[in-house]
Structures are given as structure tokens and as C-alpha cells.
Amino acid sequence: MVAGFEEITQVALTLPLDERAKVASALLASLDEPADDPAEVEAAWATEIDRRARDVLSGKVEGIPWETIKVELAERRRARG
């Protein structure tokens, strides 16, 4: 017999946080539509990567140095802390 929504939810809520996160992730992933033709997906990514590279090389988009990002992330962690 397959358990219903209420029963599954009650059991899932008793799981430790990391396991609840895994269940949530699996459920969300199951809602994604199946991937299109892999060749089409690869071509779309190649187009997107090319666009982003052109934006950076032309100066339209400016990168942020890794050191700056590390400092900002550390500050955010401390603020939550």
C-alpha cells in the first residue's frame, strides 16, 4: 500500500534537517521537465557562454576579484552569526 500525502509529510518532518533537505531537493528535481535534446541544450549553453564572454571582453560587464568576494562572504556569515 502506498502512503498518502499526509502520512508521507508527517514522516518527512521527523527527519533530521539534512535528510529533509535531500527529500525536498529530490521532490523539486522531480518537477523539472525532462531535458530537451542534449545537442540543443549544449548549443544553447555555448551561445550563452559566448554572450557572457563577449560582455566581459567588451567591458560591458566587469568582474569582481575573488579576494573581494571572500571578504564579502565572510562579512555576511558574521552578520548572520
How do residues 1-52 score in pLDDT, each as one tens digit? Answer: 678 999 999 999 999 999 999 999 999 988 877 767 888 889 999 999 999 9
pTM of the model: 0.44
- 21 and 5 assigned to the same domain: yes
Cα separations in angstroms, 36 against 22, 47, 76: 25, 16, 38
Helix axes 17-31, 5-13, angle to 10 degrees: 140
The per-residue pLDDT for 41 is 86
Q: What mean pLDDT comes out for the span 53-65? A: 94
Look up the domain containing 58 and give its range: 38-80
How many structural domains compose the chain? Answer: 2
- 1 and 24 assigned to the same domain: yes
Where helices occur in 3-65 by DSSP H, the ranges are: 5-13, 17-31, 38-58
